[in-house]
Amino acid sequence: MEKHICDYGCGQEGIYQLKCGKWCCSQFVSKCPEMRRKNSSGVKNSLLKGTRKPSFGMLGKIPWNKGKKLEECFSEERVKEIKLKLKNGGSKGASYWKNLSEDKKSEFRRHRSEEMKKRYASGWESTAGRCKKYKFESKTGYTCLVDGTWELKFANLLDKSNYKWERNIKRFPYINENLKNSTYTPDFYISDLDLYVEIKGYETEKDRCKWRDFPHKLIVLKKEEYKLFDLENLEIILTKGKVFNKY
């Protein structure tokens, strides 16, 4: 049986003869690798040159209600309903919470608190402000997540030392600045020194409450200590930082 080459340029064997008489490597021309490449590059080039507008979504299209007032788009009854919701902050927003009874609010807070405790118990860690999470892999095979480049640098420093350490996930209770019960999680624990370490860029009243009530030895390293972050200065770092409950 005579073999045919795909007439659409891919170089593969033509196994289907189309109605036009040409041979193709696939039942459909659009499935041919060469045609797929040509079609793809053609669309991309036309989009870049601005000669073709994308057909997906609303990109490149004019919204039907652009420049129109509410009264031009909806009935009078619907307009009143929308304006009332906007005035009250939305049906599921501020007005919804404001109209809840105190018992409902207490139940909601209790439920959310229990859910958060379960998440923390499973090992979940919240983000530290705008800091990016980094995955740290120790030379011993130990892995953990750290917050920001300062913690990442300190973790690398500890990993190069002979100290036994770990990323701390234990939570300790304290009374916050609003005289309410809360929990605090220091960043690292050095078991050889029985020492907890907190990497801190700035200090707030809430932080002072955490450190004041902390039941173990804790050292807080700030910007001044960060400048000394290297292996030679490790001992200086761990003794120069501000220590709480040292004795």
Cα–Cα distance, 203 to 192 (Å, whole number): 27
What pLDDT was estimated at residue 47?
Answer: 53
Quick one: pLDDT band at residue 69, thresholds 50, 70, 90? Answer: confident
Residue 181 CB contacts under 8 Å (≥ 6 apart), including other chains: 173, 174, 175
pLDDT at 246: 43
Q: b/e per residue, 103-124, with b = 16+ CB within 10 A? A: eeeeeeeeeeeeeeeeebeeee
Give the predicted TM-score (pTM) of the model: 0.53
Residue 224: closest CA among 246, 207, 202: 202
Instruction: Judge whether 7 and 14 are in contact, CB under 8 Å.
Output: yes
Report how many helices (DSSP H) and strands (DSSP E) the chain contains, helices first.
9, 13
| pLDDT tens digits for range 209-227 | 998 889 998 988 887 777 7
